[in-house]
Amino acid sequence: MNHALTLDDVAGLARARLSPPVWDFVAGGAGDERTLAANRDVFDRVWLRPRVLTGAGRPGLGTRVLEADWAAPIGVAPLAYHTMAHPEGEAATARAAGERGLPLVVSTFAGTAFEQIAAVTAAPLWLQVYCFRDRATTRAVVERAERAGFAALVLTADTPHLGRRLRDVRNGFVLPPGVAPANLAPGDYASPAAHGRDELDPDLDWSVIGWLRSITALPVLVKGVLTGEDARLAVQAGAAGVIVSNHGGRQLDGVPPTLRVLPEVVQAVAGRGPVLLDGGVRRGTDVLVALALGADAVLLGRPVLHGLAIGGAAGVGRVLDILVEELTDAMTLTGTGSVKDAGPALVREQW
């Protein structure tokens, strides 16, 4: 594991550990996977403009998001069923993130009980909310997370139903034995495709933010915003922040890569709350580019499951350490002393 020097190295090792259908479930996107590929390609089209002799020295990576300290502008994106990648699941992830002062967004479909996750980390925990047709189910999940000490909600807005993930259709994907949501009432969750089609509420509108705020004191962020128009509506509806995300290319194939739409969302939010980005972040320079284009922080998705697969908490730790080391390197070598010093002058489109 220690010879893995990049997140792609970790992915290569993880692939050999996971069954082909589980690998496909994790790696795959919707349709032809154009958006999935673009999330990464877009980072290759941007170059950094380093400043020299700035006297910036060793950079400070720490930042504050929603009045909490993060050791670096990097969090773990909500991912269903960490138990698919390692039996200790979200508890292992939380331990690794917590030891490094990094936050974790826990999925509604977590494979580990919220209380067990909260017991092993002092770093911020946010709950990702899938809103079900049955609001009582959603309410119970939210209340349980709040009781367990979670600090914010992340409403996933891009999933009125699950996208067309052709790898899973071809594999007839069902969850491996023993993998199930640990914070929902017992039920038949074996096929994420069927469950995601039948149980999620396809009729949600912006009033859901007000409803969530009426059942909890926690701030609500909206995940899955890809336009300035929706970013504005999110803030007007009472959202505390937005997450620019196309769900890692797993929902609608053909929507733009997240980095492309980040500037219009940042402009629309206009400082009224944090703007986070996920999708295709695999290198420290990717993090720095996202910061330069206005993100307050990024969330990391698939690589976390890869880390779990290769070594549980130690594997996730390796993934987070690589990214933090690479970001430190990129900030040092561009003369960027702190997270807030990363601005648009730091980047230039490919020419």
Ligand X SMILES: CC(C)CC(=O)C(=O)O
Ligand Y SMILES: Cc1cc2nc3c(=O)[nH]c(=O)nc-3n(C[C@H](O)[C@H](O)[C@H](O)COP(=O)(O)O)c2cc1C
Instruction: Tell me which of 156, 183, 216, 285 binds ligand Y, using CB under 6 A.
Output: 156
Tell me, rounded to whole angstroms, the distance of Cα 86 from its chain centroid: 19
77 binds, among ligand X, ligand Y, none (CB under 5 to 8 A by kind): ligand Y
Nearest residue to 78 via CA among 250, 235, 228: 250
282 binds ligand X (CB under 6 A): no
Residue (278 or 341) nearer to ligand Y, CB: 278
192 binds ligand X (CB under 6 A): yes
Instruction: Tell me which of 80, 123, 141, 266 binds ligand Y, using CB under 6 A.
Output: 80
Distance CA 243, CA 231 (A): 9
Report in angstroms how near the CB of residue 81 gets to ligand X at its nearest: 7
- SS3 of residue 350 by DSSP: coil
Confirm if 35 and 254 have CB atoms less than 8 A apart. yes
Residue 247 annotated in active site: yes
Site string for ligand Y, 17-46 (x = CB under 6 A): --------xx------------x-------
Of 82, 86, 195, 247, catalytic: 247
Distances (CA, A) of 259 to 212, 265, 279, 341: 28, 10, 8, 19
Distance CA 47, CA 173 (A): 39
Site string for ligand X, 215-254 (x = CB under 6 A): --------------------------------x--x----
Other Cβ atoms closer than 10 A to 315: 28
Please, where are the H alpha helices in 18-106? 20-27, 34-44, 89-99
User: Around 181, how many Cα atoms within 13 Å sit in the side-chain half-sphere?
Assistant: 20
Distance CA 72, CA 69 (A): 9
Report in angstroms how near the CB of residue 132 gets to ligand X at its nearest: 11
Annotated ligand binding at 336? The verdict is: no
196 binds ligand X (CB under 6 A): yes
DSSP state of 97: H
Annotated ligand binding at 165? The verdict is: yes
Binding residues: 78-80, 107, 128, 130, 156, 165, 223, 245, 247, 250, 278-282, 301-302
By CB under 6 A, name the binding residues for ligand Y. Answer: 25-26, 39, 77-80, 107, 109, 128, 156, 223, 245, 247-248, 250, 278-281, 300-302
Catalytic residues: 247
